A and B are shown apart, each in its own frame.
Chain A
Amino acid sequence: MTVNVLYFAWVRERIGLPREAVETEAATVSELVEELKTREDRYAAAFADVTALRVALDQELSDFEAPLAGVREIAFFPPMTGG
C-alpha cells in the first residue's frame, strides 16, 4: 500500500522534507518506523528515540503500536507546543 508520510518541526528538518509517499507493507506504525530507519542515516537520526516523538494517523493522535490497515496519512512530530 502507499501511504502519505508527513514530518513536522525538527523531524521535518532532520529528514529534510515535509512529506513523501511511501510504499510499505508494514502492519503497524513501529514496523513502518523500522523500515524508514533502514533507508538512510537521516531517517535513523530522526527516529533514534521514538519516545521523543508522537504519531497521528489520518490526523488523529495515535500510538506506535497502532495498526496501519486502511490508514492513508501518517504524521510524525515532536510533542506539541501550542498555546
Chain B
Amino acid sequence: MAEVRVQADSFDAGAELNRFSEAQAGAGAVVSFTGVVRDVSGGLEAMEIEHYPGMTESAIATIVDESKARWPLTGALVIHRHGRLEPGAQIMMVATASAHRVAAFEAAEFLMDYLKSRAPFWKKEVTREGTGWVAAKDEDEAALTRW
C-alpha cells in the first residue's frame, strides 16, 4: 500500500503517522521523517514552493514504486506541500513500514534522497531583503549514487 499526497494544506504529522501505522499489518518497524521550514541565515519570512502539477504526483509515485521494488515494505506514505510556508511549518513527511527496521530506515532515506532531486518542486526564499530561488546542491545529486 502506498499513498502520495501533494497539497497546499498543512497536515498533522502525528495523526498521519498513527493512521499509517495502524494500517500496516505485519510490520515490525515504522520509520518516519518530517521536513520543516528552517530559517538558515535569519530573516526568512517564508518559503514559496512551486511544483509541476501532474508530473509531481507521477514522479513521486515512480520513486515510491522503486522503493517498494528494493525493500520489502508493507507500505509507504509521502505527503509534500506546496505554496507559501513560514518558518517552522512542516513541508513534507515520509513514512515507511516493513517487517524489520533496516528496510524501513533505508527505504525512508532513499525516498528522501530522490524526492530532493527528482520530484519537480522548486523552493524560493522570501526574506526581508528580497527573494531568491534555492539552488540545488551538488551533494544532493551525489547522494543518489549510493543507491
Contacts and interface: CB of A to CB of B under 8 A. Distances in A.
Interface of A: 6, 8-10, 56, 59-61, 75, 77-83
What is the predominant secondary structure among interface residues of chain B facing chain A?
mixed
B52 A77 contact: yes
A77 B55 CA distance: 13
Contacts, number: 69
Contacts of A56: 52, 55, 120
Interface stretch (B24-32, B69-77, B111-119): B111-119
B14 interface: no
Interface of B: 35, 50, 52, 54-55, 58-59, 80, 91-92, 112, 115-124, 133-136, 141
A29 to B, nearest CB: 16
Given A59-B52, A83-B92, A83-B116, A78 B122 contact: yes
A80 B117 contact: yes
Given A8-B52, A80-B117, 17 more contacts: A6-B52, A8-B122, A9-B124, A56-B55, A59-B55, A59-B59, A77-B52, A77-B120, A80-B116, A80-B121, A80-B122, A81-B116, A82-B119, A83-B35, A83-B112, A83-B119, A83-B121
A81 to B, nearest CB: 5
Contacts of A82: 80, 92, 115-121
